[in-house]
A = this chain, B = another copy of it.
Amino acid sequence: MNGILLVSHSKKITDGLKEMIEEMIGTDSKASIYSLGGMEDGRLGTSATKILDGIQECKDFRNIFIFCDIGSAVLSAEVAIEMASEELLKKIMLIDAPLVEGAFTVSVQASVMNSKEDILKDILSYY
């Protein structure tokens, strides 16, 4: 299984993106999508704790791909990654690609593939 973690200041953005991706790949694929936008109470902002919880939900997965939009979304993801265990660190990739377009593309690949290299081939050649 592959975990796709979506991080934005807006919970609506990551909820909508999760819906959009799941409409394409289904909910029963090799990729599991996590909407981690907004603060813990749903307000605009990002939360490293919420992102770390998302990472830990994927602890038995093969790969964990994290997508962020702007500024402190990336910082919060980096803080969450620093707090993750060494075992988890090996599975995590923070992807430098646009949130919506990048997560959509990688999720489609991750829904049918296992290898990190195969999953990221398209996106790494594009960005």
Q: Which residues of A does B touch, CB under 8 Å?
A: 8-17, 19-20, 23, 37, 44, 69-70, 98-102, 104
Integer count of this chain's copies in the complex: 2
The binding surface of chain A is classed by DSSP as helix
User: Are A16 and B19 in contact, CB atoms less than 8 angstroms apart?
Assistant: no
Q: Give which listed residue, B12, B14, B17, B101, contacts A19 with CB less than 8 A.
A: B12
Known: A69-B101, A101-B98. A16 touches B8 (CB 8 A): yes
Known: A69-B101, A100-B98. A19 touches B23 (CB 8 A): no
10 A-B pairs with C-beta separation under 8 A: A8-B20, A10-B17, A10-B19, A11-B16, A13-B13, A13-B20, A69-B100, A70-B104, A98-B99, A99-B100
* Whole-angstrom distance between the Cβ of A108 and the nearest chain B Cβ: 10
The CA of A59 and the CA of B42, in the complex, are separated in Å by 35
Across the interface, which residues of B come within 8 angstroms of A69, CB to CB? Answer: 100-101, 104
User: Are B100 and A70 in contact, CB atoms less than 8 angstroms apart?
Assistant: yes
Across the interface, which residues of B come within 8 angstroms of A11, CB to CB? Answer: 16
Across the interface, which residues of B come within 8 angstroms of A8, CB to CB? Answer: 16, 20, 100
Across the interface, which residues of B come within 8 angstroms of A14, CB to CB? Answer: 16
User: Are A37 and B9 in contact, CB atoms less than 8 angstroms apart?
Assistant: no
Please name 12 further chain A to chain B contacts, defined as beta carbons within 8 Å, in addition to the given A69-B100, A98-B98, sorted by A numbering: A8-B100, A10-B20, A12-B13, A12-B15, A12-B19, A13-B13, A13-B16, A15-B16, A16-B16, A70-B104, A98-B101, A100-B100
